Structures are given as structure tokens and as C-alpha cells.
Structure 1
Amino acid sequence: MPAPPRLTTIGFDADDTLWQNEQFYQATQARFLELLKDHAAPDDLQDRLLQVMLRNIKTYGFGIKSFTLSMVDAAIEVSDGRAPASVIKDILAAGREMAAHPVEILPHAGETLQALAGQYRLVLITKGDLVDQERKIAQSGLGGLFEAVEIVSDKNRATYERIFGRHGGGPAASMMIGNSLKSDVLPAIAAGSWGVYVPHDLTWAYEHAEAPEDEARFRQVADLGDIPGLVAEIARASGT
């Protein structure tokens, strides 16, 4: 059996892997629930908003703009069109506040990227609104550590096959690191890459999935601080 190819390329997710993201969505959702409390119970509002968001992903994609438009849609639906203009105005203001929020880097992100940069080809692979993702990358100060940045509409097997084929030696010589089993880990492993799960305390329901414990190329770490050691371990095991 031929030896596995040497690990050359490492992909990193951005939101809730390198910097905080979901906490701002949840805070804004709580604000939405308060604004619409006269029209539905909180649990019903949450369910309706999730349904609208999942429906709108097909049209608007992921990100703050899609989320804001989904809140507007849900407000109109749950109020049977009676939501006052002031509520719609407040929802739009909440979306703008999210888009202007300073980037909050997660622990160990900077030092981990610095430890790996130069030894491996680092690629930032993130989905969401182009303008918002570009803003966060610029504000983070981490963009210069990546040899390539890919802002994609979604993440699936074909995404990783394409990106790792273009920026590295192919999926088998690559690793994807992120907080979403559904978007970062499972499709990367399906493409033939290593998939490393870095749990975050807050994860959107859409991103939930079961950990592929039986997959030989699946790993889980406590936080980004464990990544350099894991990468070194995999390199030693492959004889590189």
C-alpha cells in the first residue's frame, strides 16, 4: 500500500474558528424575539425564524444580510403583515450593528497560524457575505498569514476538492480545521482530506451533525492551541 501523501496544505474556517460570530447572531435574535413578543411565543418565533432562514439560504446565501432579511420576513409572517414600520426599522438597525461589530479573535488563533505559516500552505475558507467576510478578515489582522483566501457560497465535498486542488497538492495532502462538523469536517473528509473539529460553545442549529468517530482522518481538539502539536503528530506518522 502506498504511503499517504505528505501534508502540505491546511485550510481554516473563519467564523467561530478564528473569531467570534454566533454570539452576535444569538444576541440579535434575542432582540428580534423581544420586538415580536406581542405576536408569538419565543419558541414559536425561534422556530419560524429558523424556517425562514433555511428557506432564504437558497436565495440570499449565508451571512448577516441574509439573516437580517430573514428577520424581516419572519416579522411580517408572524404578525400577518401587521408588524409596524418601527419594528422593521429596529430589525434593520440590528443588522447594521452586527455588520459594524469589531472582530473578536478567539484564543490561540494568532499564535497557531504564525506557528504553521511558512511550514504549510495556509488557506482561509469561509462562507458568507463577501463584504462582511472581507471586512472581518481585514480587521482581524490575520489575513497576511494566509497564502490564499476563499469566500464561498457554501461548503461541500466539491468545494474542498476544488480549493485544495487549486491551492495545494489535492485533498489527500490537505487538512481542514473548523468548528462545524457539517460544513468544515464532514465534506473535507469526504473529499479525502483530514478533518479537524474545534468545538465552539455556540453553534447554529443548521451546522449540527454527528462526529465521524470511525473515520481515520477525523480528529478533534479542545482548542486551536492543540493544532500545531496535532499537525506535527500527523507529519511524524506519515514520515515527513
Structure 2
Amino acid sequence: MRAITTVGFDADDTLWQNEAFFRLTEARFLDLLSDYAAPEHLGERLLAAERRNLGHYGFGIKGFVLSMIETAIEVTQGRVAGPVIAEILAVGREMLAHPIELLPHARAAVIAAAADHQVLLITKGDLLDQERKLAQSGLGELFHGVEIVSDKTPDAYARVFARHGGVAERSVMVGNSVKSDVLPVIALGGYGVHIPHGVTWALEEAEAPLGHPRFHSLPDLGGLTALLQALHIRTPQ
């Protein structure tokens, strides 16, 4: 087995909380428009708008807010009141200002991985918001490189690893999304470590490649160091 030289970490819902705030905001949105449609219908319409708009706005809070506004206009047939739009914008600003909540073992896991490997933060979403969250997390100085990409595809990962002098076959990616953090890296010949989060966005759901020799799952980041050691993938000194 070739030594692993690079360990990549996802950010949202791997190192810090994220999706829970989207769910709370969505609940407020459904309540705002409860006079126009049932919550289940509104939720479906919002998800459809998010899926439609990913190619235009990308991932993140700003695209989510625009999708909420679009959905509000659609379900009210253009009659949505100005105060409702103002409330949607206000909750979006609240999301952008929400303090960072690190998940258990996040800092210790990054420190331990950095002792023997090049560690990269590889995340997607709005550039300014991701930079804000990283700065507030206190983890920024622990990474050898930070990459904020528009989407997590095999090609995107290959470019990231190459920019930092590595190759996918000697890399591990750690994250909560099987679709974005695990499958693309395994497809390139690397290792994927899934850290499930209690809340997963519908557009990030995918089947885990159970039984694949380069796929691993842990209940939280507390077991990552032991997994790296067990796989004998620590970089030789």
C-alpha cells in the first residue's frame, strides 16, 4: 500500500454545524407562507427551486435565500407581500452572521492528521461565507491549504490535489457527504471516510459504497486518528 500524503477535510457539517441552520430557516419560511400552501408542498417547491438554481447561484446561503424568494413569488402567483420578502432577506442575513459551532473532536482530528500529513480544507459554497466561517472557527492556521470550489467533482478534486503536489491515489477525503466527499475521491483511486451528520440536505443524499476497500465510515471525528494508523497510511518520516 502506497503511503498517504494528503488528508482532505470537508467543512460544513464535518468540522462545524451548517445544515441545521438551513432547516431552522426553512421552517420559518414555511410558517411565513402557511396561508398559501401546506408545509409539505412548500418544502417540495423550495427543494425544486434549489435544484434548479444550483447552476446559477451555486451552493450556499445566498442561493438558498434567492430560492426562497423565487418560491414565495411562485406559490403566491406574484402576490407575496413586501414584508414577507423583507423577512426572508432578514433570516438570510441572520444565517450569514451565525456564530460557528465546531463539531466534536474537530480541532483534535485536524491537529493529529497534520502531524504526519499535508492537510487541506476542501469545501464548496459561497467564497465570502466560507472564508468567514473558517476565520471564526479558529482552525485556519492548521491547514496547509484551503480550497473553496464551486462543486466537488472528480475533476475538481484531481485539480486540488495536483495544485498541492499530491495525487488522489495517495489522498484521503473526510466528510459528511457520501455524494460530495466520498464517491468522487474513491472514483479517482483515493480513500473516502464518511462521518455521518444527523441532518443531510436532500440534494446531498447518495448510497454509501459499502464493501468498497477504500471506503470507511466513522461515527465522529474522534476515531479518525486510529483509522489512519490502522490503515498504515501515515506518511513515512
* TM-score computed with the length of structure 1 as normaliser: 0.96
Question: How much has 1:164 moved relative to structure 2?
Answer: 1.3
**What corresponds to 2:89 in structure 1?**
92
Match of 2:208 among 193, 206, 211: 211
1:45-68 CA distance string (max 9 Å, x none): 000000000101010000000000
Structure 1 residue aligned with 2:64: 67
Structure 2 counterpart of 1:212, one-letter code: P
- State the Cα deviation string for residues 189-232 of structure 1 (Å, max 9, x = none): 00111000000000100011101013210000110000000011
Q: After the TM superposition, which residues 144-155 of structure 1 pair with which residues of structure 2 at under 5 Å, given as runs?
A: 144-155=141-152
**Rounded Cα–Cα distance in structure 2 between residues aligned with 1:181 and 1:148:** 22
1:201 alignment partner in structure 2: 198
Structure 2, gaps ≥5 residues long: none
2:226 maps to 1:229: yes
Gaps of 5+ in 1: none
Q: Does 1:49 align with 2:46?
A: yes
| Counterpart code for 1:45 | L
**Distance in 2 of aligned mates of 1:138 and 1:239:** 31
How many residues in Structure 1 have an aligned counterpart in Structure 2? Answer: 237
Superposition misfits of 4+ residues, deviation over 2 angstroms: 236-240
Q: Residue deviations 1:160-195, cap 9 Å, x none?
A: 111112214300000000000000000110011100
Kindly indicate whether residue 184 of structure 2 is the aligned counterpart of residue 187 of structure 1: yes
Cα separation, 1, equivalents of 2:72 and 2:163: 43
Larger CA deviation: 160-169 vs 132-141:
160-169
Q: In the alignment, is residue 118 of structure 1 matched against residue 118 of structure 2?
A: no
Alignment TM-score, normalising by the size of structure 2: 0.97
Deviations 1:71-93 (A, max 9, x none): 00000001000110000000000
| AA at the equivalent of 1:156 | T
Alignment CA distance shift 1:55-1:236 (3 Å): closer
Cα drift, residue 135 of structure 1 = 0.1
RMSD: 1.4
Secondary structure at 1:81's aligned position in 2?
A: coil
Q: Which residue of 1 aligns with 2:102?
A: 105
Q: Which amino acid aligns with 1:94?
A: V
